[in-house]
C-alpha cells in the first residue's frame, strides 16, 4: 500500500523531469534498486513522456543544422552528447566554468509561430469582438434616440393636455 501511495505522489514524474531535491533523488534511486513496482512504473512513465514529447515536438528552423555544423566540429558534438547537462549550483560563486554544457544558438527569425488551430481561434475572437462592438454601439445609439424621443413625447403631452378647470366656490 505504501508503494502505491508513493507511486501516485508524483515523485517519479518530478524525478524524470529533474525537479527533485538531492534527498528525493537519492530516495528514488534507492527504491529503484529494491522495488520492482517502482522500476516498472518509472519505465512506463519514461515511455509515456518520451512519446508525448515526440508527438508534440516542434521542428527546428530549416537552416539551424548547417549553422551549428559550421560553428562546431563533430568531436565537440560528441563530447557535448557524452556530458549531461547539470544545473548550476546557485550557491556557488564560480559562474563561469571552463567547459560549457550547452550550445548557444542564434536565430535570425524573429517571427512568432503559432499553431494553426490557435490562429483560427484568434481570428474568430477578433471577428466576434468586432461584431459585439458594432452591436453595442448600435444598441447604445438606439437607446439614446429612444430616450430623446421619450423626452420629446412627454413635452408634447404636457403642452397638449388642457389645464385643470378652476374649482368653483
Query: H or E stretch including 29?
Result: helix 22-34
Write out pLDDT tens, residues 57-88: 888 787 887 777 777 766 666 666 666 555 55
Distance, CA of 13 to CA of 49 (rounded, Å): 9
Boundaries of every domain in the chain: 2-60, 114-160
Q: Which residue has the higher pLDDT, 101 or 134?
A: 134
pTM of the model as a whole: 0.38
The interaxial angle of helices 36-55 and 22-34, nearest 10 deg, is 120
The cell numbers describing 61, all together, are 528552423
Query: pLDDT confidence of 90, banded at 50, 70, 90?
Result: very low
Q: For residues 98-107, give the mean pLDDT.
A: 64
Amino acid at each position: 500500500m505504501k508503494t502505491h501511495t508513493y507511486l501516485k505522489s508524483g515523485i517519479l514524474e518530478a524525478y524524470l523531469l529533474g525537479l527533485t531535491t538531492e534527498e528525493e533523488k537519492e530516495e528514488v534511486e534507492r527504491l529503484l534498486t529494491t522495488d520492482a513496482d517502482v522500476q516498472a512504473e518509472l519505465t512506463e512513465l519514461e515511455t509515456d513522456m518520451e512519446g508525448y514529447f515526440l508527438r508534440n515536438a516542434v521542428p527546428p528552423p530549416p537552416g539551424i543544422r548547417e549553422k551549428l555544423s559550421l560553428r562546431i566540429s563533430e568531436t565537440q558534438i560528441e563530447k557535448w552528447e557524452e556530458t549531461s547537462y547539470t544545473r548550476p549550483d546557485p550557491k556557488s560563486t564560480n559562474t563561469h566554468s571552463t567547459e560549457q554544457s550547452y550550445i548557444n544558438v542564434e536565430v535570425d527569425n524573429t517571427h512568432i509561430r503559432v499553431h494553426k488551430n490557435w490562429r483560427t481561434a484568434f481570428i474568430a475572437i477578433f471577428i466576434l469582438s468586432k461584431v459585439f462592438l458594432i452591436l453595442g454601439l448600435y444598441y447604445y445609439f438606439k437607446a439614446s434616440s429612444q430616450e430623446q424621443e421619450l423626452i420629446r413625447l412627454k413635452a408634447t403631452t404636457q403642452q397638449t393636455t388642457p389645464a385643470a378647470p378652476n374649482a368653483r366656490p
